[in-house]
Structure 1
Amino acid sequence: MRLPARRLLPATALTAASALLTGCFTGTEQTTDASGPGGKRIRVAMLQPPRSGLSPLSDDAFKLSRWSTAETLVELDEEGDARPALATEWRRSGRSWTFTLRDGVTFHDGTKLTPETVVESLTRAAGASPKPRILDGVDLTAKADGDRVTVTTATEDPLVPQRLSSPQLAILAAKAYRGKTVDPVGAGTGPFELTKVDGTSSATLDRYDGYWGGKAKSPGIDVTFVPDGTARAAALRSGEADIVEAIPVSQAAVLDQDLVTEVPMPRTNTLYLNTEKGAFKNPALRAAAREAVDAEAIVKGVYEGRADVAEGLLGPALPWAAGLRTPVEHTEAGDPAGRTVTIGTYTDRSEMPEVAAALQQQLQQAGFRVKLDVREYANIESDALAGRFDAFVLSRATVLDSGDPAAYLYSDFASDGTFNLSHLTDAGIDEALKKAAGTPAGDARRRAVVEAEAAVLAQDAAVPMLHERVIQGDAAAVVGAAHDPRERELVTADTYVK
């Protein structure tokens, strides 16, 4: 891939970044511990602060996974197939799956992994409100079966093992569930123990020497939450951080390219159109918006070529999708005739406001009048879910939870999906989604997934614009940092700083 020319940060940007770094990284000086290969703690700069007190029943679960502190019964390999984790094997009988637990696993509080603790974790997740996305449309129960755990669903579900790999179904010690909220501090099973959380500013993890998989190579992890992308990039440049996630494309070119890793990922930047009310209740105006979007211009102008123009909701991280697609028939576009629409998006990913501004210009050229509402994600998500915008721009992971896109499609486009930003209600789409969800893994399931994707695209409920790439920064002294397209791993037991 041809990299864009190097550019220097303006002096004002450098000054702002320095000020942010001074505040964000105070007290995160590198410390050493001779007991590890590198002997140094790993300093990590993360994009988004916790939204729900690091509850595993929220998207915060992926932080716990990326820090290797909370684990699941099952993991996914690079192909998205299930492999053993806290469970060593499983077998299916109709609607039930029986999992054999790994021997010798202890939680960070010293208690043992038992069928009862597994059942409690899964039961709390299944009964949560809202449910974890991975359980959208799934009625799941768990019970202890001797020294095993049996998971049963209301209907036959060929993806139960993949679902149980979701970080939102992490298994925690009983102490985590004693209050009204789930507290993961000192309750995981991973190589690092979460010992302290300082609100939305930082988190501390120490090596857990009783880890069933062997001693971690680093003595611990010091996490700082830095929503500002310029400050995160500057943290890598200045040596304030060892690993930096989600480097903005605007900053990637000014970094030492030897420190930057770029990987196509199953994340699509999508314009969700509100089909329930407002201008985009009209299918013809949704079609007009779709036709107005120039995704290639956004890729070149905002992402500096570090993204892929979308051909559908599923991108190059799922290469099988492109070969199965057929042309989609759309509604004929109507005339916007000065209709006013409001587009919402968030500041947590620095590209999003720029994407919204580009869309504003493109839609205005087509005849719409466009207002923007841009806030931090924590302050805008509830309004988006409540349908208070005509459109919403979101960077959405398409296989984040199960490694299979059917769950994402259901969550975002089913009538009862819990993340239905388009407020779409369509019996034909619901049927296509249910067919995809119930088809056994393999080629038939993939065809059903692509058919469901086509049904959504035909309604112009969402306009996929581009597929993002992971841009991660690792200091030269970092060894073994994970570069995970699904954003489940970052620091593992094998990661350390020389």
Structure 2
Amino acid sequence: MNRLLLAALLALLLGWLLTNYRPLDRANTLLVSGPFEFTSQDLAKDGYLYTRMQVAETLVAVDAQGQAVPMLATDWQVNDNQWRFTLRQGVRFHNGQPLTAKQVKHSLDIALTKPGPLQQVPIEAIETDEQDLLVTLTAPYRPLPAVLAHYSTAILSADSYDADGQVIQLYATGPYQTARLAPPHKLETRRFEEYWGQAAAIEFVHYLTGHRAESRALQARTGDADLVYTLDPASLEQLGRSKGLSVHSESLPRTLLLKLNSAHRFLDHPDSRRAISLALDRTGIAEQVIRVPGSEANQLFPPSLSGWHQPDWPALEQDLDTARTLLAKQGWQMGPTGLLKRGSDRFELRLVTYADRPELTVLATAIQAQLRELGISVLISVDNASAIPSGHHDGSLEMALVARNYALVPDPLVVLQEDSASPMGSDWGPMGWHSPAMAHGLSRMAQSEDTSEYWALAEQVSELLMEELPLIPVAFYTQQISVNDRVKGFQFDPFELNYRLSEMRFKSD
């Protein structure tokens, strides 16, 4: 009897959970599935979700070409290191309060106290002048508008924060407002009727985290999700044959790359890192593993980052003979087990990656096999993404396979400045590698008012990174998204700042 009662209680609990995760109005609810959990309303940590879901907005937006365009600020000008941002009139927060320069200052003052790209800006003061915001710098800083497009600088009402600057209730300005928050898996939003711009056509949008790529593909096939982001390449063929949906492949300013610990005694010479690069069959990886022919990377910056990407650079071909020669100069000789040896050391490395992006685990296995052919043993560890910055900081990381977005701040200069801010490098960038020449070049870029000089310096930085190879590019990233046929007006933001949900509608509308 107790077992039957327990089973009944479990069935009721399961039914309640399933009901809890089912939208109330399927006819006017857009279901979005993605791989990433969220744990808070803290913009510095999870703000990317609230800007993508169009709950929160920034002063500056970015167009498809990566150019800064107005959002909550309609215009900006700079004079003698002082930037003046004119704020949009008629904007209200989700709690009904009007957007004012004082509210914007309060939000940015808090952002300055938290991790994020705003901390890199040489800010002397943030002040208000009626409905304008004044940002005074201690030195010129060209990419400030790009920084103010980053999710960590989204503008919230002062009522969103407690006395310690922690977000307790997110009141933003977007076309959608939070209806229900259920970390780490679900965010429910509803249309904000007092939105300053074009009102959203779809009334409700629900975001649900799906960890496993197979689960997300199943959601797409069954229609349990309307938009499914970050699909497994292995599922694309079957999804392509499925009725009632289409699959979109979109290039991103993101690169699949190997992050190396350049201070490791096996990796502390550029020739060792170059040998690893030469061991990779990028064409085979693009065609057979990632299944996006032509996505093989010959540099860190993908074609979507024009100016940073160098279109005339040659392909990176696999060349095992040259790789062996480079390692032999470092004292490595082939041992009887088919692994390279130097003295008592065997060339063995631990590679850490994560399953949030499904192609990474398959790609790690392919890289393992290709490096084994060179005589390098690779032990793969699939962990949480947080294991990579953790290993970076405690020095235990040897090698990691990551998908790095060079344009979460639309100008890669900001990302690279963070990389070069200290000899330690950055969480997702170089480790144990520091270049004074690169740091100097980036500083000149940040202060340059000459566009020709800016792009000439960008090419020099790109060349330096490829000569030293603290990061080894493998492939340019392609986002795979399924769209249910009932959705009209699907658009994709190549910079992943905004899912553009408010511009979509259902075919029945």
Interval containing the TM-score (normalised by the shorter chain): 0.7 to 0.9
| Offset at residue 85 of structure 1 (A) | 0.7
Q: Which residue of 1 aligns with 2:485?
A: 476
Cα distance in 2 between the residues matched to 1:191 and 1:95: 33
Q: Which residue of 1 aligns with 2:35?
A: 47
Matches within 5 A, 1:342-361: 342-361=350-369
CA RMSD in angstroms comes to 2.7
Matches within 5 A, 1:92-171: 92-128=78-114, 131-133=115-117, 135-136=119-120, 138-139=122-123, 141-171=125-155
Q: Which residue of 1 aligns with 2:442?
A: 433
Cα distance in 2 between the residues matched to 1:173 and 1:126: 16
Q: Which amino acid aligns with 2:25?
A: T
Q: Which residue of 2 aligns with 1:70?
A: 56
| Offset at residue 413 of structure 1 (A) | 4.5
Deviations 1:150-200 (A, max 9, x none): 112221012211221112210011122215464274411001001322121
1:458 to 467, 470, 482: 467
Change in 2 beyond 3 A, CA 1:294/1:328? closer
Q: Which residue of 2 aligns with 1:298?
A: 285
Q: Which residue of 1 aligns with 2:453?
A: 444
Q: Which amino acid aligns with 2:396?
A: R
Deviations 1:236-258 (A, max 9, x none): 11010111111121112211365
Deviations 1:78-100 (A, max 9, x none): 22222111111111112110011
| Offset at residue 323 of structure 1 (A) | 4.5
Deviations 1:358-416 (A, max 9, x none): 11122222122222221121454422444322111110111121x22212222334436
Cα distance in 2 between the residues matched to 1:480 and 1:31: 23
Alignment gaps of 5+ in structure 1: 1-20, 34-38
Q: TM-score, normalised by structure 2?
A: 0.85
Cα distance in 2 between the residues matched to 1:45 and 1:327: 38
Matches within 5 A, 1:324-473: 333-335=326-328, 336=332, 337=341, 338-401=346-409, 403-415=410-422, 418-419=426-427, 420-440=429-449, 442-473=451-482
| Offset at residue 223 of structure 1 (A) | 1.2
Alignment gaps of 5+ in structure 2: 1-13, 317-321, 333-340
Q: Which moved more, 1:373-382 or 1:321-330?
A: 321-330
Q: Which residue of 1 aligns with 2:157?
A: 173
Q: Which amino acid aligns with 1:270?
A: L
Cα distance in 2 between the residues matched to 1:222 and 1:496: 14
Greater radius of gyration (CA): 2
Q: TM-score, normalised by structure 1?
A: 0.87
Deviations 1:317-357 (A, max 9, x none): 12444556668999982234332211111111111111111
Cα distance in 1 between the residues matched to 2:395 and 2:121: 21
Cα distance in 2 between the residues matched to 1:82 and 1:467: 24
Cα distance in 2 between the residues matched to 1:230 and 1:179: 43
8 Å contact kept, 1:42–1:218: yes
- Find the residue that maps to 2:190 and give its secondary structure: strand
What count of residue pairs does the alignment treat as equivalent? 468
Matches within 5 A, 1:12-91: 27-32=20-25, 40-50=28-38, 52-58=39-45, 60-91=46-77
| Offset at residue 460 of structure 1 (A) | 1.5
Q: Which amino acid aligns with 1:193?
A: Q
Cα distance in 1 between the residues matched to 2:168 and 2:66: 26
Percent sequence identity is 24
8 Å contact kept, 1:24–1:224: no
Change in 2 beyond 3 A, CA 1:381/1:179? farther
1:250 to 226, 231, 234: 234
Q: Which amino acid aligns with 1:48?
A: F
Q: Which amino acid aligns with 1:277?
A: H
Cα distance in 2 between the residues matched to 1:243 and 1:126: 34
